[in-house]
Every structure is written in structure tokens, then in C-alpha cells.
Amino acid sequence: MTTLDTRLRDLRARRKALVPYFVGGLTSDWTTYVAAAIHAGADVVEVGVPFSDPMMDGPVIQEGALRALGNEATLESICHELAVAAFEVPIVVMTYFNVLHHFGLERSAELLGASGVAGVIVPDLAIEEATPWREVATAADVATVLMVAPSSPIERVRRIGEQSQGFVYAAARMAVTGRASDVGDAARVVQSVRSVCDTPTYVGIGITTPEHASDAGAFSDGVIVGSALVQRILDGASAHDLEGSISSFRLALDTTAREA
């Protein structure tokens, strides 16, 4: 069991998890947004390592990744900044397998672990091919977080639930990341995960408003908020501006938990 497994199971006993997402290197002061999110009540922060061909990401995060690449952001530079910042909540990196493969799997895992990163999401890494990465990552105490899609058959959900570390990422819809009008198929996806395993399950893709967070928090262990925050940064919002927004998501989740 990784450190992230232990921390998130403990967290589940206390409150719903709030996981804001930021693109590493999007601005020169991007870590100040992470700090603001933690001050606003984030329990985990997801940091995207930009890639030129992001198959899971919609237009907003694609734009953020392109800007970050233009700022010469790399896996190494982002890990260095995370190590300097030494945030007190778990940091989970999201990137694509090409980035890890190019840098070297063992080298990537050691870099992430030494930088204080607690976990990694690799959306284009199939469970059938994940063992080499998962082994070196676990050795570095870096959890490998796997995803369940609305289309995942129950036997595949079982395998993902057994192998996912830290939490299971429940995709609310068959779509790339982006803003949405509701929480889609999230309830059904979370139920499928809970029917086969006890791993904490967080809902992502389309969590746009505090109301969405409240809805998803009623049946999941937490929510991931990405495009809505990245869009605000692209539009020029400061870290202080975002702290207020993230506080509203925190309040919505806490209110849902009290009413349950």
C-alpha cells in the first residue's frame, strides 16, 4: 500500500475530497495557484504535465498545455518546482505515457517520488500494459491512479479497482475534459466501482460548478475540478481570485456531507 492509499482512506473517514487541477508551467507563478487552492480547502491537487498530443483533454486544458510548453515546461521543471514548494497535501501528476516512456520509466518514477509527488494518472496507459510502470512507481512510493469510463464492463472495473492505488478516477462521461451542464453518468460509474472494491472513488470530467460538486459528492468520495479553473487562469484570474472560487467548491462539498 502506498502513502497515498493510506492518506486518502483516512481522509474518506473525515470528509469529501476536493481535488483542483492545474497545468504545471502555465504561468511563471503557477505554484501560487496550488498554494491558494490548498488554503481554500483542497485535499489533493492534480498537476498536469503538458504534452503536445493530449488525447483526454478538451480545448481548455489543451490551450493550457500549449502555453505551458511555450514556457518550456517539462516533467523535470515541474517536479523541481514542486520539490521547492513542498506542499503539505498530496500532489498527483497527470500526464501521458509518452512523457514517462521518453524520460525513462524508472527515472520518471524516481524523479516524481523524490519531488514529493504522491501519485500519477496516465490516461492512455491500458491496464494490460501498466505493470512495468506500476512496479517502478510503487517502488518509489508513487501511486498509480487508474480510470473507469462509463463504457467499462464490470469485469474490467473489477480489475481496475483491484489495481488502482490512492483512488479510482470515475469519468463522468465519454468525453474529453471540459465544462458540462450536469454530472453525466457519474453515479452509475461510481456504483460500478463500489460494487467490486473499496477504493476511494473520485468523480472528474465536467465538474464545472459548486452545484455539480455537491451533486457528485452525494454519491462519491470526492470530486476533481479542472477545466473551470484552468479557463479562469487563461482569462487572467489571479491566485487570490481562484482561492475564492475553490472555497465555494469546498463549502458545497462540506454542506453535502453534513446533509447526508
Please indicate whether residue 46 is annotated as part of the active site.
yes
Catalytically annotated residue among 5, 46, 185, 243 = 46
122: Cβ contacts below 8 Å, ≥ 6 apart: 94, 95, 96, 97, 100, 130, 133, 144
Instruction: For residues 27 and 233, give the distance between their C-alpha atoms in angstroms, rounded to a whole number.
Output: 9
Q: Report how many helices (DSSP H) and strands (DSSP E) the chain contains, helices first.
A: 12, 9
Q: What angle do CA 73, 44, 177 make, to 5 degrees?
A: 60
- Separation of first and last alpha carbons in the chain: 30
Contact 199, 163 (CB under 8 A): no
Catalytically annotated residue among 57, 185, 215, 221 = 57
Q: What share of the chain is helix, strand, coil (3-state, %, to 5)?
A: 50, 15, 35
22: Cβ contacts below 8 Å, ≥ 6 apart: 30, 33, 34, 37, 45, 46, 47, 48, 229, 230, 233
Place of cell 454542506: 255
Please indicate whether residue 221 is annotated as part of the active site.
no
- Which residues belong to the active site? 46, 57
